[in-house]
Amino acid sequence: MTDAPLLDVEDLAVEFHVGGTVQRAVQGVSLSLARGRTLGVVGESGCGKSVTSLSIMRLVPQPPGVYAGGAIRFDGRDLLTLPEAEMRALRGGRIGMIFQEPMTSLNPVYTCGAQIEESLSVHSNLSPKAARERAIEMLDLVGLPSPRQRADDYPHQLSGGQRQRVMIALALANEPDLLIADEPTTALDVTIQAQILDLMGDLRGRTGAAVMLVTHDLGVVAQTCDDVVVMYAGRVVEKAPTAALFADPQHPYTVGLMAAVPRIDTAVDRLTTIPGSVPPPWSKITGCRFASRCPLASEKCRTQDPPLRDLSPGHGVACWHAPIEAAA
């Protein structure tokens, strides 16, 4: 294992040019992921998590999307400058992705088994018969009942949770070096969630794969991730090892997310919420993006954008008021 990270995203900026407006979905995002580790990327809807993951796969539609700056290095190669033929060779092979919307990600005119078999035929030397058996094996591993029968079903014949499991089987079939999982367990019941997370952990343990888990579920992050990146309004506002982040969150937004998690040991009349909402990507903001929702906001916060600075080794935060007391 080398010291260089398998994935290194540096100062990534992604914009969407729509109707004469510029929507800045991702601004200056930097993160890294080493082989054999799991990185959790968390934040509210609209914070830029999914755009960041799609950018790594270079699947942001152009137009209206524009890669406005930065670099995405996978195993030392910048994916943003890679020829399309080489990028296609990586997708589904060395880089796998579990998409958030399986109904729009699976091809409706091919059976579920055929889609997995096609990926195997492109990225491996398996014979058609071996690819068929491998596809059925993967459908069985993700907990799909009657996998041999389901391999011949079309996506519309399956439920949302079953389609999600087909998507996971497709992403894992070639045992990728990097697995990007965008809300992989959203449509699944708790038992299947645990099974899928175990399957992803098994892939990491057997092959040394790196896993980037995009989620809003802090419980899943605490259970499975080594490191965490917290995003807000297209920016990274805090990043730290998982244990350090949960023990001592340092950005007011992270503190708010932690406080909003229901606790079984505390009786409350209503759940804690963060007032307000994420600013839209076309809004022009001076200063900290969280200032309008932050209980600690000062005039400096409203006029100067805080940089991401290290409070301790591996623990960075973009807040003028950090360090702050940990949430109770």
CATH code of 196's domain? 3.40.50.300
323, part of any domain: no
326, part of any domain: no
Pair (240, 308) in one structural domain: yes
325, part of any domain: no
267, part of any domain: no
101, part of any domain: yes
pLDDT tens sequence across 286-324: 899 999 999 999 999 999 999 999 988 889 999 999 887
Task: Classify burial at 184, counting beta carbons within 10 Å of its beta carbon; exposed 0-12, middle 13-18, buried 19 or more.
Answer: buried
325 pLDDT exceeds 70? no
Buried b (16+ CB within 10 A) or exposed e, 28-65: bbbbbbbbebbbbbbbbebbbbbbbbbbbbbebeeeeb
The distance from CA 170 to its chain's CA centroid, rounded to whole angstroms, is: 17
57 pLDDT exceeds 80? yes
Among the ranges given (59-63, 241-245, 270-274, 281-285), the one the predictor scored with the smallest mean pLDDT:
270-274
Q: Residue 279, preceding bond cis, omega within 30 degrees?
A: no
Q: Cα torsion for 309, 65, 45, 320, to the nearest 10°?
A: 20
1, part of any domain: no
* Distance separating alpha carbons of residues 289 and 305, to the nearest angstrom: 8
Predicted TM-score (pTM) of the model is 0.89
- 151: nearest Cα among 126, 115, 104, 120: 115
Pair (193, 251) in one structural domain: no
Pair (135, 63) in one structural domain: yes
Specify whether the CB–CB gap between 102 and 155 falls below 8 A: yes
- Residue where the block lists tokens 């799609």: 54
Fill in the DSSP letter of residue 106.
S
pLDDT tens sequence across 19-36: 888 899 999 999 999 999
42 pLDDT exceeds 80? yes
Pair (252, 287) in one structural domain: yes
218, part of any domain: yes
Output the pLDDT for position 326: 47
Pair (286, 185) in one structural domain: no
DSSP bridge pairs for 174: none
Range(s) of the domain holding residue 75: 7-225
Amino acid making up residue 253: Y
Pair (279, 149) in one structural domain: no
* Distance separating alpha carbons of residues 65 and 55, to the nearest angstrom: 10
Pair (111, 158) in one structural domain: yes
Output the pLDDT for position 264: 67
165, part of any domain: yes
pLDDT tens sequence across 60-95: 998 899 999 999 999 999 999 999 999 999 998 999
Pair (41, 101) in one structural domain: yes
Contacts of 239 (CB under 8 A, 6+ apart): 31, 227, 228, 229, 230, 308, 314, 315, 316
Report, as an integer, the average pLDDT of 113-121: 94
* Distance separating alpha carbons of residues 62 and 309, to the nearest angstrom: 33
Report, as an integer, the average pLDDT of 129-135: 95
Contacts of 95 (CB under 8 A, 6+ apart): 56, 57, 74, 176, 177, 178, 179, 180
Q: Hey, what are 262's tokens?
A: 């229901």
Q: How many CB atoms lie within 10 A of CB 320?
A: 18
The distance from CA 284 to its chain's CA centroid, rounded to whole angstroms, is: 26
Output the pLDDT for position 195: 83
* Distance separating alpha carbons of residues 159 and 181, to the nearest angstrom: 20
Pair (220, 252) in one structural domain: no
* Distance separating alpha carbons of residues 150 and 172, to the nearest angstrom: 17
Pair (185, 129) in one structural domain: yes
Fill in the DSSP letter of residue 277.
-
Pair (50, 83) in one structural domain: yes
How many domains in the chain? 2
Pair (205, 85) in one structural domain: yes
